[in-house]
Structure 1
């Protein structure tokens, strides 16, 4: 019950629903005990003495009990349903909120399909158990107690003899629970793996088809599906062993009752009505024991699911606001950024960046050039406080960014990532994402600066065109220009362009760069690019290799000295330089 104890805070405000659900179910159970007594009275006081006038009274009493019991069952379902839905609602919101604030480090290893499984199937299992299963499990105990007490009042010796197998029933049920819980844990993991495979296949369907890897994906899914099937079969085998044993023990109790009880009736030490009542009451006890496996099944599923949900809720947030952190005055942010000997590593890996030291003056443009894995994007993510630095510090206008509230810090930064993400919504909403109040004129102006307005107007519904999931239906360059417009609309003090023009052609890149010249005015801008054409106007260019700055300077300074920058320049402009040299030689001749 430790899992339920940890979840208690999410339904504490509605604990009255839980109490009422239990009380109503217990009352319905209590009324159910009247049936055996009515049978006892019918046989001993009506049928045997031939006093048939009492039949109507007994029938009306039974009808009244049925009506009252049905009403109590309704109230149990009403309060239980309200409680379960309230808990699921609170947990769903809590999990989603926690996912919003979990650090990038968590998402580096998290799987989308697994998270979806936790927020759907696992939450549903918890809802069912807390709403209904918990009350029914407690009611099982009450049924045993009520039934045993009623039987003891009739004939305590027969009760003790009949219930000789009850401890064995309980022992078998507990043994079953110890084996079925790990099986359900493994089943949940297998289901998450299965869900992840489907999610990845749907997300990467274009890649799958372009490489003709459909057979491979089918085989991969088949393996995970087989694992899930094997877990289901294993759980079924446990059930197949459990039910026969429970039925055998229950049948022994019934056989003992018939043998001993029948003998007592023959000896007139027990009335026939008492024996019939006893027979009904024994099922009042054995029935719950029989159903104990079902309740344990629900409990173990909810326990396994609760552990997976709590794993999200109890997940440590690596990057969070420090005590005493303040909000930025965004209107007066100058945009001076200082990296003071910063070193950072992902987990226990080798440092991604080492001893990074530079200053970006307000309104300046800083460019980053380097190969894959050189640390360019890591520097930008550290500036956004996606991760905390291991050594050194990063300052904005002289203040350590760890002393600034994360939301406030990121509100002053706009980023265009290399991997563009668009939501399944209209182009208008995608551009205005993150802005609470913005006019259509401002959206159009940002789109024009990003050179996106013309192609948007050619779409069927213009800015009201709904793009598919992740921007499906648009080319890579179109998606990138919408993402650029989204960043420009934010009117940030710090602008980050993470290879923002990689998906557009050279001509479009030149047009976008021209638009950037306007929006960069007065803003500190960081540009990550593989094309030197995107960096040549930067105030300072930092060349990185294996997480270290190996060169720094302006475009003119760097192409004048041997080094990585000059090598890249010669590679990218080889044809241009060759044609220029040939033309020069022709003039000399």
Structure 2
């Protein structure tokens, strides 16, 4: 269901709490009316030389008690409403984070990290300010303006009150004139802050690349440009905001001028007493504060509306991948029997399909290896298996269930995947390995690390498994990150294991040890291995070679070598590379490696 407003929904949901806050603010405003009355009575008695010591005590005690009453109810009401604002802030951030968790990977591919951070911090802060100061000032202004105007008209002079109020409607006209300008400028400020945040995030994440390519100066220039743009947008907003507040103050000043001129004339004519004149100006002072605050509230509302629209654009974004209407909640476990029927898939916005007419069967407990050149669709295929993207219906079946019938929680909970990017969180090694809702014991974590051949490396750290990793696990080497990612996948003991080129950063000896350790884990589990090295895939029960999104070859290692096609060509090239590397160990001078004419040498890019 599409959200129309964040503010309205929250206020309606907590309306009785806001009613109580309104009562507290109204009590504070009502008590303030005693101050002008006491000052007026004090002035009249002083003018008439009727002021006695008991009267001074009476007025002093009265003003003190009034001040304490105003302070108590205003403070309690303010604290209460501010607490509601903080609660909304927490709720919106939770909703935003929860909704991000539901969105597909494609959404985040099109977003900058800095913009997302700006939404979660700056936009939500603006929403909080509106529900804190905005709501409080609006309540106080409505109550105080209403009861003060009534008191001025009923206790002093109706015509003087009307004349004094005459300039105030100009505030509404002023607010109308500044409406769109301030809202647009506020949105520009938030966008500039998002760009600046993105620049900082990219710089800190890629600092090693920046230094390696000596791009510090260039990055500084880019940051300075974004920083100057952010300052420019803020100056525009501050200029409009200050102009609005100045004009509002000028209108309020005109009301005071009318009060002094015409009120003074009424005093000289005897139409009102000096005490009533003092009381009237005290009432007017009480009135002007909330009126000026309404100008600030107006600016807050425009900023709040701009931030609300940005947040609603996210919260109303429907997930590309979600549980289908045909999903069967009773499916809680998968055995791992996979069948793919005539699967073709094209990424959104892409002209050419990434996969074309893929059909194959992977029986439960067997292993499938996928090889192919870069861009042939290997990772796309496994991404569809875990539904990071939606495959066409009727193309992928697991245990006989069409993949859309399987709840996402069951599907992804039963699949352990080691992704290509080896992302690790900046927490401890233990937390990264046991990254799963299910709690794991220390023994299970250590066993997974041993199978992944990273246990000995972890023990070399002073804090062992409690070692905190840097951003994206940068304190580990590439091979160590891959092995921690492997441990994270196998500790789940899933029905289906997927290794997406997860051994590329380790040497051949470590690769053999990992594969040997994985034999026990892969037993009775369906395993899919994407690899560039033939040595990591040749023991699979079946191997498919993808070429331009199609299955070009399929069979076992021996069958594909005898076929003398793409796979065999890759295999022989890698054998030549291994022989060349072995030859270099025996000769102090590097020996040239013969390459077939017109073809790339070195490790084949699969």
Q: Quick check: 1:334–1:397 contact (8 Å CA) kept in 2? A: yes
- Which range moves more in the overlay, 512-521 or 161-170? 512-521
Moved more, 543-552 or 178-187: 543-552
Task: Give the equivalent residue in structure 2 for 1:120.
Answer: 121
Deviation at 1:372, TM superposition (A): 2.2
Deviation at 1:473, TM superposition (A): 1.7
1:158-198 Cα deviation digits (max 9, x unpaired): 12222221111221133223321111111111111111111
Which residue in the other structure is 2:500 paired with? Answer: 498
Partner of 2:415: 413
Report the counterpart of residue 586 of structure 1 in structure 2: none
User: What is aligned with 1:449?
Assistant: 451
State how far apart, in whole Å, the 2-side matches of 1:179 and 1:3 are.
Answer: 25
Shift of 1:47: 2.9
Partner of 1:147: 148
**Structure 1 residues 362 and 74, CA, compared in 2 at 3 Å: closer, same or farther?**
same
- 1:91 aligned partner: 92
CA contact (8 A) 2:137 2:290 kept: no
Instruction: Tell me the equivalent position of 1:264.
Output: 266
Measure the CA separation in 1 of the matches of 2:10 and 2:270: 58
How much has 1:492 moved relative to structure 2? 1.4
Match of 2:176 in 1: 174
CA–CA distance in structure 2, aligned partners of residues 87 and 434 of structure 1? 29
Q: Distance between the aligned counterparts of 1:479 and 1:4, measured in 2?
A: 44
CA deviation after TM superposition for structure 1 residue 403, in Å: 0.5
Work out the CA distance in 2 between the residues paired with 1:225 and 1:201: 14
Does the CA contact (< 8 Å) of 1:446 and 1:485 recur in 2?
A: yes
What is the match of residue 587 of structure 1? Answer: none
Which residue number corresponds to residue 224 of structure 1? 226
Specify the alignment match of 1:347 in structure 2.
348
TM-score scaled by structure 1?
0.92
1:249-398 matches, within 5 Å, as 249-327=251-329, 333-350=334-351, 351-390=353-392, 392-398=394-400
Distance 1:577 1:453, change over 3 A: closer
Aligned residues: 578
- Structure 1 unaligned regions, length at least 5: 581-589
Q: Which residue of the partner structure matches residue 403 of structure 1? A: 405
Instruction: Report if aligned partners of 2:85, 2:131 keep a CA contact under 8 Å in 1.
Output: yes
Partner-residue secondary structure (3-state), 2:493: coil
- Asked whether the 8 Å contact 1:415–1:497 carries over to 2, the reply is yes
- The residue aligned with 2:591 is none
Residue in structure 2 matched with residue 30 of structure 1 by the alignment: 30
**Aligned partner (choices 553, 557, 560) of residue 558 of structure 1:** 560
What CA deviation, in whole Å up to 9, does each residue of 1:462-498 have, x standing for no partner? 2233322321221110111111122122111111000
Answer with 491-500 or 357-366: which moved more.
357-366
Match of 1:585 in 2: none
SS of equivalent to 2:354: strand
**Rounded Cα–Cα distance in structure 1 between residues aligned with 2:424 and 2:65:** 62
Given the superposition, is the C-alpha separation of residues 209 and 155 from structure 1 closer, same or farther in structure 2, using an over 3 Å criterion? Answer: same
Question: Which of 464, 467, 471 is the matching residue for 2:466?
Answer: 464
Residues of 1 paired with 2:171 and 2:327: CA distance? Answer: 60
Deviations 1:369-399 (A, max 9, x none): 1222221111101100111114642100111
Question: Is the contact made by 1:11 and 1:86 (CA closer than 8 Å) also made in structure 2?
Answer: no
* Counterpart among 240, 248, 263 of residue 250 in structure 2: 248
What is the RMSD of the two structures over their aligned residues, measured on CA atoms?
2.4
Match in the other structure for 1:50: 50
Shift of 1:563: 3.5
- Could you tell me how far apart the structure 1 residues matched to 2:344 and 2:460 are? 47
Is 1:157 the counterpart of 2:159 in the alignment? yes
User: For residues 296 and 578 of structure 1, what CA distance do their matches in structure 2 show?
Assistant: 75
User: CA–CA distance in 1 between the matches of 2:202 and 2:60?
Assistant: 63
Contact between 2:393 and 2:402, CA under 8 Å: does it hold in 1? no
Which residue pairs with 1:105 in the alignment? Answer: 106
Q: Once the 2 structures are TM-superposed, how far is the Cα of residue 60 of structure 1 from its aligned partner?
A: 1.5
CA–CA separation in structure 1 for the residues paired with 2:509 and 2:479: 12
Instruction: Decide whether the 8 Å contact of 2:118 with 2:194 is kept in 1.
Output: yes
Offset of 1:220 from its aligned partner?
1.7
Cα distance change on mapping 1:152 and 1:400 into 2, 3 Å = same
CA distance in 2, matches of 1:258, 1:63: 27
Separation in structure 2 between the aligned mates of residue 74 and residue 288 of structure 1, nearest angstrom: 16
CA distance in 2, matches of 1:442, 1:249: 73
What's the counterpart of residue 485 of structure 2? 483
- Partners of 2:171 and 2:519 lie apart in 1 by 80
SS of aligned partner of 1:165: coil
CA distance in 2 between partners of 1:576 and 1:133 (Å): 71
Conserved? CA contact 1:341–1:391, under 8 Å: no
Kindly indicate whether the alpha-carbon contact (under 8 Å) linking 1:424 and 1:467 is maintained by their aligned counterparts in 2.
yes
8 Å CA contact retained: 1:113, 1:199: yes
Counterparts of 2:4 and 2:558, CA distance in 1: 66
> Per the alignment, do residues 291 and 438 of structure 1 end up closer, same or farther by CA in structure 2, a change over 3 Å counting?
closer
For residue 446 of structure 1, report the CA deviation from its aligned partner: 2.0
Q: Which 10-residue stretch deviates more, 77-86 or 470-479? A: 77-86
Indicate conservation of the 8 Å contact 2:369/2:529, yes or no: yes
> Cα offset for 1:31?
1.7
Shift of 1:240: 3.5
Structure 2: any 5+ residue segments left out of the alignment? 583-606
Contact 2:193 2:230 in 1 (8 A): yes
Aligned position for 2:79: 78
Shift of the 16–82 alpha-carbon distance from structure 1 to 2, 3 Å rule, reads farther
Helix, strand or coil: the match of 1:369?
strand
Could you tell me which residue of structure 1 aligns to residue 132 of structure 2?
Answer: 131
Q: Secondary structure at the match of 2:369?
A: strand
Offset, 1:49: 4.6
Distance in structure 1 (CA, Å) of the matches to 2:215 and 2:171: 53
Q: TM-score, normalised by structure 2?
A: 0.90
Worse overlay, 436-445 or 31-40:
436-445
Deviation at 1:257, TM superposition (A): 2.0
